[in-house]
Chain A
Amino acid sequence: MKDREEIAQALATAGYIADSELATAVSLMQRLRRPLLLEGEAGVGKTEVAKALASVHTTELIRLQCYEGLDQSSALYEWNYQRQLLAIQAHHGADAETIEDQIFSEKYLLERPLLAAIRRAKSPVLLIDEIDRADDEFEAFLLELLSDFQVSIPELGTIAATAIPHVVLTSNGTRELSDALRRRCLYHYVDYPDVDREARIIMARIDGAGASLSLQIARMVESIRKEELRKVPGVAETLDWAAALVGLDVRDLHDEPETVHETLMCLLKTQEDKARVTREVTERLLGKVA
């Protein structure tokens, strides 16, 4: 990993078209060994960054999806109680210490994503998705893990990371994150891509999407984003729409305005938005797409 261009190139071969800012972020991540916090609207490809990163490093992607009420036992580790009980029953009569040694060994430990991430021989990519959905308490706990990369399990002792994982956190901004966590991380705001980059993304992701069609789609989506919509379509929606158009054998948007309007459901996800973008609006927008 030498240069921004090289990183951007590597990410592109992994199917992620990055801008130069993101490439810088990735290079810094490696240099400073800090986690990367990605913020941005839903559907701009935050999660994809982590996937591409894993593929660039040819390493495993370990994903922790956060939700409200996520706790240590589903994020870090848990003992396999059923097996422990069975073992106790099976060794009935053996002395306590032997049994204890046995049932509190790694064999009976259930690895959850965070523990898994620090026990791999090769640094994996650890994706902590939608951290804003987890509770404050979990955030504080995570902070501790991210600074030391070690975990102490009372019955077993401290487990230090064999290889420091590449950590990517994503947030949709449904809750304000703590300053401490923000400070620990590198920050990158993922915005909607510009027309050119979006067109390249479509070409990279959708088989059979030609250069001119991709550009048309990207322009169309850009002008739709400028309409006053309740839910602005993200890159994921663009890709859906492009796939739909390619699947329907559309070569040029101007040839089939009817199909274009009907497939807009890939982009517009609420009733109000659907009602707002009428046939006339579609035609007006199409007119602007060269």
Chain B
Amino acid sequence: MSCCGTSPDFPELDEVSRLVSKKLAAFLRTLRDNGFAVGPAEGQDAASLMASGYAARPGLLRSALKHLFSARKSDWEKFDGLFDAFWLGKRVRSRSPTMGAAKAANSPSMKSLQEGSTERGASQSATDQIPSADNAPEGRGGEGRMEGASRADNFAEVDFRKLADPEQVAQAHAAAARLAKAMRTRLTRRDLARRRGYRLDLRRTIHRNISHGGVPIALVKRQRKDKPLRLVVLLDASGSMSMYTSVFLRFIHGVLDEFREAEAFLFHTRLAYVSAAMKEKDAGRALDRLSLLAQGAGGGTRIGESLKTFNRWHAARVIHSRTCVMIVSDGYETGDAALLGREMAALAKRCRRIVWLNPMMAWEGYAPVAAGIKAALPHVDLYAPANTLKSLTALEPYLAKL
């Protein structure tokens, strides 16, 4: 398979290759818009592949580029649809409508698809409960800033529900993010202090002491590497929790940003993996992206179903032996409470600790009588209120002990 096989006249080749590379560049852009991590190196490889006979049949080219451009299973699955839409145009619709994403079939041009989805996103975010951080300071900025830091302390004990003022909400958000950061730093320091070997490393000791003629003067010790604590947060984004979701989203954003290992999921009637969206450094933009994922918020809560999805598809990847699963929910299950109990039992077997944070717990006269929470409680290691910043802070010593 040498590149010299196809060699028409020089100018002609030039023309063709110019066209092809232009189209290829556009395809790369499309892929990038769709979340593929492709760089110039991949583009070059693709060009060399096309020059050497892989472009002879669409099927072959698709398969080749699929291997080259995909980097993970999700890429792998959506590639065929993107390829067909881009290179084969409308033909894809009549031939195999099931292939790839449904949205790819609707519009032949990926560019317009991209715009369409963002438009849709914008209109949906209007229905969402998450107050956008961008709107918050509007009009109030000057007034709020005057009040300074002293007010922040008061917030610590105010129920999130009662934060009405957007400025207050913004400050509570910032405090939640700071708190997440503080937790991380303290947990890490604890890790460092423990670093002392408990066992001799004979090979390295001999190596180190070659200069002493083999007399073991300097000892090398060995220690087991500590796994950092991994925090997996499952946040209930259903209607009954709507007062609290935004603050917790902010908290999760801080956690993901600061913890070395953390994953986050949202659930209402179904489960959504949100770590990727939350990795966005800018909190405002991260929340915007999330508002897309939180669609359906306001409906019922199927905690059991969501946990089942989690156990089936995500648990093996995100849970290891030093994982703490944090469920933030009021426990109002609209689905099958027995299923919730079963899935909680399965989850408890996998992870180190389950912490259930219930914002309603601190309400006067609240008792865990809902069927859902009753079924779940036997498997929960720590059941704590989480309606104020102070109650979140109270968690830190517990997490540090794990």
Q: Which residues from chain A sit less than 8 Å from chain B, CB to CB?
A: 1-2, 4, 20-21, 24-25, 27-28, 31-32, 34, 36, 39, 68-69, 73, 78-79, 81-82, 84-85, 88-89, 135, 173-176, 179, 182-183, 185-189
Residue numbers in A under 8 Å from B225 (CB-CB): 68-69, 135
19 CB-based A-B contacts, threshold 8 Å: A21-B63, A24-B60, A28-B68, A31-B1, A31-B48, A32-B48, A69-B225, A81-B207, A82-B206, A173-B317, A179-B71, A182-B72, A183-B38, A183-B39, A183-B41, A183-B42, A185-B71, A186-B68, A188-B67
Q: B280 an interface residue at 8 Å Cβ cutoff?
A: no
- A189 near B76 with CB under 8 A, answer yes
CB distance from A276 to the nearest CB of B (A): 13
Picked from A24, A36, A79, the residue with its CB within 8 Å of the CB of B64 is A24
How many chain-B residues does the 8 Å CB contact rule pick out? 34
**How far does the alpha carbon of A34 sit from the alpha carbon of B71 in the complex, in Å?**
13
In the complex, what's the smallest C-beta–C-beta distance from A180 to chain B, in angstroms? 9
> Which of B64, B210, B224 sits near A84, CB closer than 8 Å?
B210
Interchain nearest-CB distance for B294 vs A (Å): 23
Residues of A within 8 A of B39 (CB): 183
Contact A186 B63, beta carbon cutoff 8 Å: no
Taking A24-B60, A24-B64, A175-B317 as contacts, is the C-beta distance between A32 and B49 under 8 angstroms?
yes
0 or 1 for each of B3-46: is its CB under 8 Å from A? (1 = yes): 00000000000000000000000000000000001110110010
**Which residue on chain B has the smallest CB distance to residue A184?**
B41
A173 B210 Cβ-Cβ under 8 A: no
Bound-state CA distance A128–B320 (Å) is: 22
Asked if A32 meets B72 with Cβ closer than 8 Å, knowing A24-B64, A173-B317, the reply is no
B52, B66, B213, B224: the one contacting A31 at CB < 8 Å is B52
Which of chain A's residues have a CB closer than 8 A to the CB of B210?
81, 84-85, 88
Alpha-carbon distance A20/B66, docked complex (angstroms) = 13
**How far, in whole Å, are A69 and B222 apart by their CA atoms in the complex?**
12
Asked if B189 is at the interface of the complex by the 8 Å CB criterion, the answer is no
Minimal Cβ-Cβ distance residue in A for B205: A81
**In the bound complex, what is the Cα–Cα distance between A2 and B53 (angstroms)?**
11
A187 and B60 contact, CB distance less than 8 A:
no
Closest to A39 in B: B73
